[in-house]
Structure 1
């Protein structure tokens, strides 16, 4: 029996290829896919050939055990139903809807370590956004926003908007979003931002607020040059959480100004791991539960702009690549 899988074959080339379907091993289950979300950050870097080929796709996930050179399968936000289980797996997994950290594929086998049960009160379409909510949760753990702080978020894509929604729950002095696209600035305000401005207006805005500096900045734009803007905005002993992954794009950092004397902290944040200082109290299971609660507060339908049949996956990537102004979250449908 054969199934179909999405394969990145070259720069800006994706194909849907047949793959052999296998029965689950003793410690595995078989999952039938319903929906999967395309990451407009990491996956577009892969699609555009901007991901460094010499590093592992994600060593923390058994489903992404290769590197980022072509050809490869990639993806980590799929919702499906368990249809079969191996002899060592609890039968309670069968017929359960799950969130799978697995590349785009119609049917596949996996251990349950790569699956998160989809709570019955969360819709499938929302479930496909769980990895984004989990990433946003990790950003807040790393940035540790505090009472009365001035916070700035650069970038209002899916990850940025999820982060904004969670930050809006905090008793901050202000939450400002910097985003070039007007439609996304509007959505950022709906998600709880106090202000949403284009990049050209951010300096003028902060000159009129307090001492003119932010306490905490999130760089989520995916553009390396934005790091310099983040350094300009943050104040003495401020923190900058770098959530963007730039792939092979280089950052020309300008560190000769206020950065050195102001003791600015650049914090690398990535969802594969939890901050070492928190691991005594925070496990990945605890973070999963927290992220699921966060997902319940996020208006997923406001983020989903396109649902495209899996067989036309190439159209989905072209749309994200060539028409970003009208596109936020694209889903692939397998039904």
Structure 2
């Protein structure tokens, strides 16, 4: 008698409790109609958000809004979380078989998802670099939100993964001035690789039309308010999770009629929402990754088996990274 509902062995990373995580074996159902089985090649650790989950710091009030698309479990845990996965389709609709794809899926070696959750990776984009698709998507959304114009003066405060990505995309805009601002002088190397001017916060030029704040710090937001010109815009990309932030609204914000706008990738920015879908945004992000300069954001790699230890090292500060890549056991011929 044949099994009409076969299962497939899989292994996934779970945050089991505050600052604890492990790899768990599980059984997944074979793909049904309109679904695909994906074998992971690489996944990326989105350090900011995933460390919030690791520290059990997701505020209950916004827990439902902060769910990842294919998350299992609930915050604070046990929860399977993550959203930067690249793999190859092993089973599913014929036109998808063998395709390299990006998916907003947690760290898992094999998974089944609807095919409309998949983004095809262009032939000129290496699989390892493609883990950045979700972060490029975040940066695209922020630029759609801000709408930079010809001759603008722009600052990006915070030279982490998201801030650096925003600066990289802005480099191609016809701006009068673009500065990447950070306290850490070591971020000069990233700025050099991106071809962007790097400055310490004390030396950043003021009178900006737009300031993108990406430092996730109170001090960074304060400095962003100071750098914006009269009636300028601060695009707030940081997620503070359960931390309280005090902002001096009685100074620059009120006197100079500034605006602070949140940019969050869960929905397409309002300026493009009626003409672009999430899938359109992901396709655009994947296509932009043909530029090899994006490799500057890939700052280390480890095997899937090492993932629980790597997360702890990132959380404690013993390991630094922009995007740390996780490699899955597979036939090396598929690692293009």
Same fold (TM over 0.5): yes
Aligned mates of 1:129, 1:57 — CA distance in 2: 24
Is 2:297 the counterpart of 1:303? yes
Of 69, 79, 84, which residue of structure 1 is paired with 2:86? 79
Q: Which residue of structure 1 aligns with residue 114 of structure 2?
A: 111
CA shift digits 1:152-187 (9 cap, x unpaired): 111111111111111111111111111122222221
Indicate conservation of the 8 Å contact 1:58/1:64, yes or no.
no
Q: Which residue of structure 2 aligns with residue 135 of structure 1?
A: 138
Match of 1:299, SS state, is: helix
Aligned mates of 1:58, 1:112 — CA distance in 2: 23
Is 2:147 the counterpart of 1:144? yes
Aligned-pair Cα RMSD in Å: 2.0
Is 2:24 the counterpart of 1:30? no
Is 2:127 the counterpart of 1:124? yes
Q: Which residue of structure 1 aligns with residue 188 of structure 2?
A: 185
Aligned mates of 1:293, 1:97 — CA distance in 2: 13
Structure 1 residues 312 and 138, CA gap change in structure 2 (3 angstroms) = same
Indicate conservation of the 8 Å contact 1:74/1:104, yes or no.
yes
Match of 1:263, SS state, is: coil
Indicate conservation of the 8 Å contact 1:165/1:298, yes or no.
no
CA shift digits 1:120-165 (9 cap, x unpaired): 1110111111101111111111111111111111111111111111
Q: Which residue of structure 1 aligns with residue 333 of structure 2?
A: none
CA shift digits 1:268-287 (9 cap, x unpaired): 10111112332232333332
Between 9-18 and 277-286, report the one with greater CA deviation: 277-286
Aligned mates of 2:75, 2:252 — CA distance in 1: 36
Indicate conservation of the 8 Å contact 1:55/1:67, yes or no.
no
Between 266-275 and 35-44, report the one with greater CA deviation: 266-275
Between 59-68 and 131-140, report the one with greater CA deviation: 59-68
Of 15, 23, 33, which residue of structure 2 is paired with 1:8? 15
Q: Which residue of structure 2 aligns with residue 198 of structure 1?
A: 200
Indicate conservation of the 8 Å contact 1:60/1:272, yes or no.
no
Q: Which residue of structure 1 aligns with residue 172 of structure 2?
A: 169
Aligned mates of 2:68, 2:236 — CA distance in 1: 22
CA shift digits 1:8-43 (9 cap, x unpaired): 012221100111122112221111111100001110
Is 2:95 the counterpart of 1:92? yes
Q: Which residue of structure 2 aligns with residue 209 of structure 1?
A: none
Aligned mates of 1:83, 1:292 — CA distance in 2: 21
Match of 1:124, SS state, is: coil
Between 152-161 and 53-62, report the one with greater CA deviation: 53-62
Aligned mates of 1:168, 1:145 — CA distance in 2: 12
Superposition deviation, residue 59 in structure 1: 7.0
Superposition deviation, residue 60 in structure 1: 8.0
Aligned mates of 2:249, 2:61 — CA distance in 1: 28
Match of 2:82, SS state, is: coil
Q: Which residue of structure 2 aligns with residue 49 of structure 1?
A: 56
Name stretches of at least 5 consecutive residues in structure 2 with no aligned partner. Answer: 1-7, 330-336
> TM-score of the superposition, structure 1-length normalised?
0.90
Q: Which residue of structure 2 aligns with residue 235 of structure 1?
A: 229
Is 2:274 the counterpart of 1:272? no
Indicate conservation of the 8 Å contact 1:53/1:67, yes or no.
no
Is 2:167 the counterpart of 1:160? no
Aligned mates of 1:49, 1:61 — CA distance in 2: 15
Q: Which residue of structure 2 aligns with residue 261 of structure 1?
A: 255
Structure 1 residues 20 and 12, CA gap change in structure 2 (3 angstroms) = same
Q: Which residue of structure 2 aligns with residue 250 of structure 1?
A: 244
**Number of equivalent positions:** 322
